[in-house]
């Protein structure tokens, strides 16, 4: 080994270079040579131990894709599945340094299926090496990765036109690709784009100037990476520290741990806790090594405060006189990462600044065409698609626009049932109405209305297949409750589509919006003290859960009217199954659209085995047992 060495994750990367450590990623379409490039770079800088090189040589014979040559991509494609397929699946990180600079490189996958992993790598990168196969030029995935890099705040791009040897080192091809990308990226906000022709397999222009391209007068790749000045002005921004953990080692110490996302901190600084708005001063600052007198952006610290005030995980400590925005509605860019499509109106979990809360995409403004950057009308987003939307969260949160602070303006969306990360998001700005609309305090409370009616409010949510008997049972239940003097209202699927929801069809996205609206109406009715009977197919668990979370604990009673599909088809009271099976009706639940069976309903009515009157009596008896009536 030379004096250069591959750095481990625990090294101080600023100790061996004249410039700050550079975080960069390699990205681009599949099989454009990303892993080969980094492997070649490490090899040419003598950053591979002899035993690693011997192992690489053996593995190249078994897994290699370059004939008898050493396949440098295998240095980074460590997963067995990656080696067998010849692609990168996960994000591979490497730490290394040269005499001039230290580097942290994220080798990200090019396949569309793993675009989410590319976004992960870009979220912490300052520069992107975007590879293009000289034979293929710009592809959709190349453009998609450029858009995602721009959205995630990467401002420096190296356009590495790879495999230039396979086009006979043609200057005209290189210049055309560089011109095409420069034109495409003109509106993406990159501060610098450097195009470099390379052959990762043979090392041309990787860490030394190639003699086979005398027409190229620019720097080789490593030279540019060692000298590029990627400004990090986080220290000059207002103080921000999202609280990650409450540090209570004993009863005498209460600190608030997190990483400074912007600005500096010193004992005595005035700060505000958001969103509560309580003010205090920093009493002391601690790191793993003990108490310090100042901390900077990027430092992981624990703060103690001068006053005993309430601070929780997910709160933000901020400069007193330069605060972030606080809102419960905002516009954002989304990169959709799930095989399940985005449904506006569906409730997801948002994780932002170490806090987790409910969030809904209220409006999908448009989708971005990754080839032309044009705005496309869209009602949903599919895997790897990028869009601009409005979101609403269940409580106000503190944030900065992503363009101002990449740390405090980024979030992810999580599916409530699968816990899958479905989207990465970047906040653009707070919606004006978020700060103009306030809750009005009411003189008469829900509890007072309930006392007047002599019963508790509730939502009886009847769900099941079309023709299961939901409306019949709900009507009988309401009649029984009316006879007891209970104040009720009934919301039926067909009836609301004549008025409130007459603009909605039956696609999955429109069914989601249908239930969202009904849930809000049901909540208003429970606030009025009523027992609300809702009869809807409501095929998706996520929306039934969303309605449950709108009302108070114990007020939502899910009633699963369980009738076998064969019996529903045999009944077919409206002739809809016959038409759906004949292909005359699309998006019909039970035929060409799924129904998600309730997992733990409060009442499971075996409608195929009992008559409707007996089932209605069972529902009323359950309300009596729960002391609702």
The region that residue 379 occupies, defined by phi over 0 for left and psi between -120 and 50 for alpha, beta otherwise, is alpha
Nearest-angstrom CA–CA distance, 629 and 613: 19
Q: Indicate if the alpha-carbon torsion angle 324, 325, 331, 335 is positive or negative.
A: positive
The whole-number pLDDT of residue 605 equals 95
Cβ atoms 474, 488 nearer than 8 A:
no
Domains of the chain as residue ranges with CATH: 13-227 (3.40.50.300), 234-319 (2.40.30.10), 325-434 (2.40.30.10), 446-625 (3.40.50.300)
Six-digit token string for 393:
């969260």
Instruction: Give the orientation angle of helix 115-122 with respect to helix 140-151, to 10 degrees.
Output: 40
Q: Given the structure tokens 């609300």, which residue do they identify?
A: 532
Cβ atoms 580, 591 nearer than 8 A:
yes
H helices, E strands: number in the chain: 16, 28
3-state secondary structure of 524: helix
Ordered mean pLDDT values, 10 residues apiece, the chain (629 residues): 33 49 88 81 68 57 55 48 38 79 80 69 89 94 90 92 96 97 93 95 91 95 93 86 93 93 95 94 93 93 94 94 93 91 91 93 92 89 92 93 92 90 92 65 86 93 94 95 95 90 87 92 94 95 91 95 92 88 89 91 88 94 94
Task: State the catalytic residues.
Answer: 538
């Amino acid at each position: 080994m030379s004096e250069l060495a591959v750095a481990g994750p625990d090294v101080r990367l600023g100790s061996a270079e004249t410039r700050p450590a550079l975080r960069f990623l390699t990205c681009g379409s599949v099989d454009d040579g990303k892993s080969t490039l980094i492997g070649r770079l490490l090899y040419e800088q003598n950053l591979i131990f002899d035993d690693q090189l011997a192992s690489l040589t053996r593995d190249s014979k078994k897994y290699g894709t370059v004939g008898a040559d050493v396949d440098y991509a295998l240095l980074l494609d460590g997963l067995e599945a990656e080696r067998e397929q010849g692609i990168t699946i996960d994000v591979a990180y490497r730490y290394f340094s040269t005499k001039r600079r230290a580097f942290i490189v994220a080798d990200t996958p090019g396949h569309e299926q793993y675009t989410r992993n590319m976004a992960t790598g870009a979220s912490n990168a300052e520069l992107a090496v975007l590879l293009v196969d000289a034979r293929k030029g710009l592809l959709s995935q190349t453009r998609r990765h450029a858009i995602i890099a721009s959205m995630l705040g990467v401002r420096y791009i190296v356009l590495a036109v790879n495999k230039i040897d396979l086009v006979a080192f043609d200057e005209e091809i290189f210049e055309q690709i560089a011109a095409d990308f420069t034109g495409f990226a003109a509106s993406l906000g990159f501060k610098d784009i450097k195009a470099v022709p390379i052959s990762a397999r043979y090392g041309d222009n990787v860490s030394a100037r190639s003699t086979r391209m005398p027409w190229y007068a620019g720097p080789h790749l490593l030279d540019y990476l060692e000298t590029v000045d990627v400004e990090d002005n986080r220290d000059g921004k207002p103080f921000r520290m999202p609280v990650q953990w409450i540090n209570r080692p004993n009863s005498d110490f209460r600190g608030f741990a997190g990483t400074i996302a912007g600005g500096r901190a010193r004992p005595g600084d005035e700060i505000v806790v958001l969103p509560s708005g309580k003010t205090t001063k920093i009493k002391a600052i601690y790191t793993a090594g003990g108490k310090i007198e100042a901390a900077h952006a990027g430092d992981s610290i624990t703060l103690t405060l001068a006053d005993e005030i309430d601070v929780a995980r997910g709160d933000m400590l901020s400069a007193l006189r330069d605060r972030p925005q606080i809102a419960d509605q905002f516009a954002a860019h989304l990169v959709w990462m799930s095989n399940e499509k985005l449904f506006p109106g569906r409730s997801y979990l948002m994780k932002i600044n170490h806090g987790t809360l409910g969030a809904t995409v209220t409006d999908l403004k448009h989708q971005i065409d990754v080839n032309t950057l044009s705005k496309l009308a869209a009602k949903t987003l599919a895997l790897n698609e990028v869009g601009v939307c409005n979101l609403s969260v269940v409580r106000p949160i503190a944030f900065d626009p992503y363009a101002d602070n990449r740390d405090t303006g980024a979030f992810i969306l999580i599916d409530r049932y699968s816990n899958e990360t479905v989207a990465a998001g970047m906040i653009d700005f707070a919606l004006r109405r978020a700060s103009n609309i306030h809750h009005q305090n009411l003189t008469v409370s829900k509890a007072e209305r309930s006392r007047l009616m002599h019963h508790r409010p509730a939502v009886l949510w009847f769900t099941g297949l079309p023709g299961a008997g939901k409306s019949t049972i709900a009507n009988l239940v309401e009649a029984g409750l009316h006879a007891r003097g209970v104040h009720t209202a009934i919301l039926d699927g067909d009836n609301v589509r004549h008025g409130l929801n007459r603009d909605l069809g039956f696609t999955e996205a429109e069914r989601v919006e249908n239930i969202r609206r009904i849930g809000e109406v049901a909540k208003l009715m429970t606030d009025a003290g009523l027992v609300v009977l809702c009869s809807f197919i409501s095929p998706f668990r996520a929306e039934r859960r969303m309605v449950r979370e709108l009302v108070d604990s114990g007020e939502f009673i899910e009633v699963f009217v369980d009738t076998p599909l064969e019996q529903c088809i045999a009944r077919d009271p409206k002739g809809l199954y016959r038409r759906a099976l004949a292909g005359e009706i699309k998006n019909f639940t039970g035929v060409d659209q799924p129904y998600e069976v309730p997992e733990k309903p409060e009442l499971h009515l075996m409608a195929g085995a009992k008559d409707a009157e007996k089932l209605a009596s069972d529902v009323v008896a359950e309300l009596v047992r729960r002391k609702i009536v």
